[in-house]
Amino acid sequence: MNISKSDQMIIKGISGSPGICIGKAYIVDREGVNITKRYPVSDDMVPKEIDRFKQAVSKAKNDHAKVIDSLDKDLGENLNILETHMVLFKDKLLYGKTIDTISHEKINAEWALRKVSGKVKTMFQQIDDKYLQARVIDIVQVSDKIMSYLFGAQDIKISDINKRVIIVAHDLSPADASQIQLERIKGFVTDRGGKDSHTSIIAKSLRIPSVFGLGLATTSVKNDDILIVDGSTGTLIINPDEDTLFKYEDRMARFQEYRADLERESHLPAVTKDGIALNLMANIELVEEVVAAKDNGAIGIGLFRTEFLYLDLKRFPTEDELLIKYKELVELMTPQSVTIRTLDINGDKVNPYLTTIEEANPSLGLRAVRFCLENQDIFITQLKAILRAAAFGNIKLLIPMISCVEEIIQVKQVINKAILELEHEDKIFNKDIPLGAMIEVPSAVIIAEHLAEHVDFFSIGTNDLIQYSMAIDRRNRQVAHLYQALNPAVLKMIKMTYDAAMKKGIDLVMCGEMAGDPINIPVLVGLGLTDFSMNSGAIPVIKRMIRSLDTQKAKKNAEKIMALNTVQEISEFILTEYKEILPFGETDES
C-alpha cells in the first residue's frame, strides 16, 4: 500500500474484470470494522436496549427471508446456508445470551452482541468437530447482519441501490453480483475473493470493472469517498489527488473508446497475421446467454455448465425438463456445436436439497464425475436428456474432473445403460456424439495419453487445474496471489496435455478462464493450441489479439518462455515482446 500527497491511498488487489471507473463509494458490508463501543445503560434503559436488539433481529430475519424467497426462483446456490442462518437468528446461544448480557451487565446491545458472538465463536473453535467448527462462519455472518441493523448500516441489497456508485464490500457472492444493474453500479471492490471466481466470471460478463482481494477496502473506505477502480491492473485508489484523477479520466475515456472499437470488430474472424484460423467459443451457464455469445462472435458453445439448472430448483430436474433446456440451446446454436458438461456439483457448488456426508475438503471429495458415478440414477437422467437433445443439433458430451482411466471407463458403461433405456423406451435420440474428458487435475495430465484412447477430445479446465496443481484455494485472499496461469508448472502441464492429444489424434480445447486473458494468448498459440472457449465478453479482445499475432514467431517465443523459471520472468517477457499488440490496460504505458 502506498500513500501519496493529500489523503490519496492506493491499494493493490487482484484483477476481477477489466475496465476503469470513477465514482463515489457505497459501502454495503461492514464486516470487520471496529465501530462498537461499550457503554453502560441505566436500569430504565435496559428494556429499551433489549427491544432495540429484538427489532434489529426481526428486521434482519425478515430481510433474510426475502432473500431466500428471491433465490427460490432465481439463483439458489447458497439456499441451504441461508436457511441455516434463518434458524440462527433465534438461536439461544446468540439471541438468548445477548439479551441476558444486556440485562445482567447493563451494557448496550451492540457490545453485548459482540461479546456473546465472540464467546460462542471461541467455544466452537475449540471443539474437535469439523462440522461444529464450520458453524462459526454462520454465527459470525448472522451476528454481522444483526449488527448492521443496530448501527443502521446499509446491508447488501444490490438490487435496491438507486444511485450511480461503486460498491465496496467485504465479499460479494455470485448471487449478489447477479443483482447488479449496470445503469446504477459503475464497478465494485471487495476485501476477499480471487481471480476466476464465479463472482469474477459474472463481473466479466457484465463488463463491469472490479478488483478482489484488497483486504483493507472496507476498513479504508468511507461512504461517499471518491474512488478509482482499475480492474485491468487490480488497483483501488481512494480519494485521488487532482493529477491522478485527470490521468485516470483520460485512461477511462481511452478504454471506452477501445471497447467501442472492439465491439465494431466483433464480427471479424480470429485469423492470425500468417493466415492461421483459430476457433473461439463461449462458456455459458444459462441458455439466455446465447445472445451475448453470438453478439460477441462466438462460433459455438465450448462449455455449458449444467449444474445451474439443478441449483435453480429445490429438487433434481426431470429428464423432460432438462431436455427442454438442452433442446432450446442446441436449436439456438445450430449448426454450431454445443459442448454440454455433465453435472459438477458439491465442491464450491453445494447442492441445497441433497443430504450428504459432511466433507472436510469438499473440493477434494464427492464432486463432479465422482458424484455422478455414485448417483447413477441422477447421472442417467441427465445423459438421456443430452442424448435426446443431440437429435436436434450438434452436441458434444464433456465429463468433468476425470482423474483416472477407470472413471472414464465407468462413465462409458453408464452412457451405454442410458442408451439401452432410451432404446427400450423407443425415444428419438442420437448416440453418436463426441465424448470428452476435462483435464483439470494433475493426474489426468500425467496419464493423458492413456485417457486419449477412451475419448474423442480433451477440454483443459484451467480454473481447477491451476488450483489443484498449486494446492491453493483461489477464493482464499491469503494465497490467491499464487493463482498464476503463467506459472511454469501450469504451462508445462498444458504442453503435456497438448502433446498427448496430438499424438493420439484427438481434438483439444481450452475452456478455462485462462483462455480469456489476452496476456496468455501468445504462449498458448505458441504451444500449438487453436481452440478456445471463454467468457463471451472476452472474445472480441482475444480476436483482436489473435489478428495481431504471427504463429511462427509465437512458437519460437514459446520455446523461450518454456525455458524460464518464474511467473515474473514469463510475464515480463510477454509484456516486452508483445507490448505493441497487448490490449489496453495490459501495460503500464497504456
Please list the residues that pair with 282 across neighbouring strands: 301, 534
Q: Residue 131, Cβ neighbours under 10 Å: how many?
A: 10
As a whole number of angstroms, the distance between CA 331 and CA 354 comes to 32
b/e 250-269 (16+ beta carbons within 10 angstroms → b):
ebbeebeeebeebeeebeee
- Sequential DSSP letters for 112-151: HHHHHHHHHHHHHHTSS-HHHHHHHHHHHHHHHHHHHHHH
As a whole number of angstroms, the distance between CA 179 and CA 186 comes to 13
Grid cell 459474472 is found at 202
User: ∠ at Cα 512 (509, 514), nearest 5°?
Assistant: 105
Residues with Cβ within 8 Å of residue 292, at least 6 apart in sequence:
205, 282, 536, 537
> Which helix (H) or strand (E) is 261 found in, with range?
helix 242-265
List 21, 85, 198, 372, catalytic entry: 198
Q: Where are the beta strands (DSSP E) in 79-224?
A: 165-169, 185-190, 210-212
Under DSSP, the state recorded for 480 is: G
Grid cell 505458441 is found at 526
As a whole number of angstroms, the distance between CA 124 and CA 206 comes to 40
Please list the residues that pair with 534 across neighbouring strands: 282
As a whole number of angstroms, the distance between CA 144 and CA 465 comes to 35
Residues with Cβ within 8 Å of residue 248, at least 6 apart in sequence:
20, 22, 228, 230, 237, 240
Is 376 within 8 Å of 415 (Cβ atoms)? no
- Hey, what's the cell of 20? 476503469
- Hey, what's the cell of 383? 445423459
For the chain, what is the largest distance between any 2 Cα atoms, rounded to a whole number of angstroms? 84
User: ∠ at Cα 186 (184, 191), nearest 5°?
Assistant: 120
Q: Residue 543, Cβ neighbours under 10 Å: how many?
A: 22
As a whole number of angstroms, the distance between CA 325 and CA 342 comes to 14
Q: Any catalytic annotation for residue 198?
A: yes
SS3 of 426-479: the string is CCCCCCCCCEEEEECCHHHHHCHHHHHCCCCEEEECHHHHHHHHHCCCCCCCCC
Please list the residues that pair with 166 across neighbouring strands: 25, 187
Q: Any catalytic annotation for residue 404?
A: no
N-terminal to C-terminal alpha carbon distance within the chain: 22
Long-range pairs, 46-52, Cβ under 8 A, ≥24: 46/102, 46/103, 46/106, 49/102, 49/107, 49/108, 49/109, 49/112, 50/99, 50/102, 50/103, 50/109, 52/109, 52/150
Which residues are designated catalytic? 198, 511
